[in-house]
Amino acid sequence: MAKEIKAPKKADKPVKADKVTKIAKPAKVEKTKADRPIEADRPASTKTAYKLDATAQNIIDAFEQISAIPRNSGDEERIRHFLIDWARKNKFLYITDKVGNLIIKIAASKGMEKHPTIVLQGHLDMVCEKTPDSPHDFSKDPIRFVFDGEWLKADRTTLGADNGIAVAMAMCLATDSKVKHGPLELLFTIEEETGLTGARGLETGIIEAKYLINIDSERDDVFTVGCAGGRDTHIELDLGYEEVPYDYRGMHIKVSGLTGGHSGENIIDERANAIRVLNRILHSIRDLCDLRLTWFKGGTAHNAIPRDAEATFFIPIDQLPIVKEHVEKAEVYLKSEFERTDPELDVYLAEMAVTPDRRAMMSYVSMKVLDLLYALPHGVAARSTDMPHLVETSSNLAKVWVDYGKLCIHSSQRSSVMTRLEALTHRIEAVGRLAGARVQSGSGYPSWRPDFNSKLLAACKKIYKSLFDTDPRVEAIHAGLECGLIGNLHPGMQMLSLGPTIKNPHSPDERLYLPSLAKVYQLLGKILAEL
């Protein structure tokens, strides 16, 4: 038996391959300016074929200024200062609470001082996802806009309309002399995308309103009145390493090109999870011959379905032809299985250059890793019995990586029924413990229970009908909104979420439907005037 040795100290990326079974054609890369933008700078953009009216253009102008400022979760300081400067310029009172939320208070229009105060709420941060060929640096580069007919996208990155468009709309409503309103409170929270930190830490007493409109929904014909709660689980498994036999060859495998998307909104679409697809291939190779893992990485965010995953491993040299043929066949059947949801699915396999470091996980450890990843759930766990079109409970196998001799796994669970959220979390913890891993789950955040009888909802439905001669859809969603936490802090507050149409948030395919901007703006203006 080979002697067990210490794991590599650092989870380095695999060595460049020297023999390639399959190589995808490289995408053309457009170089972008990497200088840190000044707050007032605007990102480069293409010209649009869709004619924006004055209202939509004002919103896009504000959104461009916002998009010029990096605002990854945890890095909201620059966008907060930009908004503070805007508030000072317009002589609005502003407050920053202890966790970094920004509240801007705006006096009522003349003659509307006795109208109820309304909160317009959105979050400052965005999910930072990009395609593998994108040179974008989310810590300093502005988002580059791409206008495509009636849609606004970004150049190979997330657009950040989730939720920068809410900030832009609130800015425009507050400064539009044609919009009449009672007292307004603009609430901009931090770190919504990584755990609703801002809403969780919001200080009581700062918000005075009894009505709140969250501008973080993604259909212009839908009023959202409820959402799922969520909880994350972290799993760590210690790994054992040894030298592989001299007649083993190093391999690099990568699954890419998947659609990805929002782990709440898009989980119902049954899109492929790159971590699960890659693990499935590796597990099937292990059925053919001995396989020794050295490295595994997939996923980027807890609330995004993984689009890419890769691994390195050793197999016996004499099994190379069989393994290569097997992977080619696996790609064929996987493409067939996910033809509708992930048409760009790609599997890359290559031999690695020979290196002095021939350490890999022991054979039984490699099998334990593959079994653990296979056993962890992902996808829809239950649908709502009240609203069959709505996912009630789900989990997202979000991130996997190897670092300092440990396999690290991050799973994110959602449910509109908190007891079922707890049960699914306990199941995931149990799977981890059965593998001998350490598990730890966060406290999570509550669901937002729908109130179909609220006065706010009734008034907004009536206003929508008067404007568009049709009724809005009223729904709960299988995603996390800050309303649940804010409502817990302010008992009796009536809340509703709406917004312009956004497709594929949390992925580089995110896009904003431009015609929906004027529609939602008109609706919000009418609500502020008549509520």
Please list, residue by residue across 232-248, b when 16 or more beta carbons sit within 10 angstroms of its beta carbon and e when fewer do. Answer: bbbbebebebbebeeeb
The SS3 call for residue 70 is: coil
Alpha carbons 343 and 259: distance in angstroms, whole number: 8
Catalytic residue, chosen from 76, 129, 162, 192, is 192
344 is an active site residue: no
- DSSP state, 319? G
**Contact by Cβ (8 Å): 51, 136:** no
CB-based contacts of 485, cutoff 8 Å, min separation 6: 196, 199, 200, 202, 445, 446
221 is an active site residue: no
Alpha carbons 485 and 189: distance in angstroms, whole number: 12
Catalytic residue, chosen from 125, 193, 308, 509, is 125
The SS3 call for residue 509 is: coil
469's torsion region: left (phi>0), alpha (psi -120 to 50) or beta? left
**Contact by Cβ (8 Å): 400, 421:** no
Alpha carbons 154 and 61: distance in angstroms, whole number: 15
Alpha carbons 101 and 118: distance in angstroms, whole number: 17
Residue 58: its H or E element:
helix 54-67
**Contact by Cβ (8 Å): 189, 101:** yes
Alpha carbons 415 and 426: distance in angstroms, whole number: 13
Cis peptide bond prior to 72, omega within 30° of 0:
no
Residue with tokens 């009908």: 465
**Contact by Cβ (8 Å): 434, 266:** no
The SS3 call for residue 442 is: coil
Length of the chain, please? 531
Alpha carbons 231 and 196: distance in angstroms, whole number: 11
**Contact by Cβ (8 Å): 63, 162:** no
**Contact by Cβ (8 Å): 118, 173:** no
Cβ neighbour number for residue 413 with a 10 Å cutoff:
28
Cβ neighbour number for residue 410 with a 10 Å cutoff:
17
Task: List the 241-243 sheet strands across, edge first.
Answer: 4-5, 241-243, 359-361
The token pair that represents 466 in the structure block:
């008067």
Alpha carbons 465 and 501: distance in angstroms, whole number: 18
Q: Which residues are catalytic, by number?
A: 125, 192
